[in-house]
Amino acid sequence: MDVEIFIPGHGPIGTKEDVKDMKDILSFIVNVADKAYATGERDPVALAYRTKIPEKWTTYGEQERLVMNFCSYWKEIDSSYQMPQVFELLNLAGVYHEFLSKRSSQ
C-alpha cells in the first residue's frame, strides 16, 4: 500500500519502515522455527533459549514474546503439539524474560 502512516489496532502509530520491520521480525521467527523443526527440534521453549535475537531488535522490549510466538507457530507446523495453557505460557514468558535480563547484564 502506498501510505505514509500506519495505524495499528494497538500500539503506536507507525511508518512503512515500521511495518517492514514487523514483517522482518515475523519472518525471522518463522525461519528459525522452520529450520529447527526440520532438524528435529520439538520443543519451542527450548528453541527460544537457544535463539539469539538480532541486535537491532534487542531494544524493542517484550522479547519474552519469542516464547509465545514459537509456541503459537509450533501449533501451526505440528498439529500434535500441545500448546501451554495461557497462564503457563505467561509464566514461561516471564521466566524467559528473567533469562534475557540476566544474559544482557553479563
Domain count, the chain: 1
Query: How many angstroms separate the CA atoms of 95 and 30, rounded?
Result: 22
Identify whether 3 is part of a domain.
no
Residue 10 lies in a domain: no
Residue 84 lies in a domain: yes
Q: How many CA atoms lie within 13 A of 99 on its CB side?
A: 19
DSSP 33-83: HHHHHHTT---HHHHHHHPPPPGGGTTSS-TTHHHHHHHHHHHHH-TT--P
Contacts of residue 49, Cβ cutoff 8 Å, sequence gap at least 6: 96, 99
- The per-residue pLDDT string of the chain (106 residues; one tens digit each, 9 = 90 and over) reads 788 888 988 888 999 898 899 999 999 999 999 999 999 999 999 999 999 999 999 888 899 999 999 999 999 999 999 999 999 999 999 999 999 999 888 7
User: What's the full length of the chain, in residues?
Assistant: 106
1 lies in a domain?
no
The residue range of the domain holding 95 is 16-105
pLDDT of residue 3: 83
Torsion of CA 24, 75, 90, 66, to 10 degrees: -20
Cβ atoms within 10 A of the Cβ of 49, count? 14
pLDDT at position 70 is 98
Residue 99 lies in a domain: yes
Question: What's the N-to-C CA distance of the chain in angstroms?
Answer: 43
pTM here? Answer: 0.88
Q: Is residue 9 part of a domain?
A: no
